[in-house]
Every structure is written in C-alpha cells, then in structure tokens.
Amino acid sequence: MSEDFDMDELASRIEDAVESAMEDQVMDAVTCALQDILPEALGESLADFEFALPNGTVVRPRQYMRLLSPDKTKLLLCYGGLRVDGRSLVVQTRVSSWETIAVYPNREEATEALVRVKNAMDAHLEMLEL
C-alpha cells in the first residue's frame, strides 16, 4: 500500500509541476500576443498605456523600437523594458526575455544610454543607434 501512495504522490507532484510550467508559458504567450496585437488594434490610444509585471518591470506595449549596439553587432527589438545592471544596458526583448545590448565603462554611462533610449521611445523613434 505504501508503494501506491508513493506513486500517487509522485504523480501528483509531476502534475503540479507541469501545470505550473504550463501556466507560466501560457501567461507569457498571452502577454506577448497582447503586446503584438494591442498597438496595431488601438494605435495611438495606447500612447500612455503601461502595466507592471510581477517582477516590477514596467511594460509599454506600444513600444517597438529597434536598438543598434554601439559596436553595431546587435540589433534588438525593445518591447519597452530597460534597466541598468552594473555597467550593462539591458533591454527587454520579450515579456520574460532580457538581453544585454551594451556594456559601458561605468554605471553612469550605462544610465545615460538608458535615458537616451527612453527619450527616443518617448519621441516615438523607430530605431536608435547607441
């Protein structure tokens, strides 16, 4: 009987893990779809729309600006999230994906680049070369 209980417990844990992973994937897929569809459907009415993800990231779904790295080796599509990690400027490329676009000599220069990107977004530029 204890063998059946262990198998049932194992099956229950596996089911819970799969369900949790699926929920995360579905949430990311729905959010990505909304980010892709809402700007086209609502156009400029989304100019000031933004929402916060559970991790505190502020997302502006209408933002789709391309960023070219200073060394011209990376061209990333920015979905609105930006942050400075140490000396790195990190760009949100999807709801749950972040990628470093550039590493600067110091945090101050990385922050200046972040401000440039934010200003370019606010000006509705389609592309910015860092």
Q: Which long-range contacts (CB under 8 A, 24 or more apart) does 15-19 make?
A: none
Task: Give the global pTM.
Answer: 0.52
> Model confidence over 55-96: pLDDT tens digits?
665 665 545 688 899 999 988 888 777 888 889 999 888 767
For 28, the domain range is: 1-130
Res. 7: pLDDT tops 60: yes
Backbone dihedral angles phi then psi of residue 104, each to the nearest 5 degrees: -105, 165
Q: How many domains does the chain have?
A: 1
**Surface-to-core class of residue 83, CB atoms within 10 Å of its CB (0-12 exposed, 13-18 middle, 19+ buried):** middle
| pLDDT at residue 2 greater than cutoff 50 | no
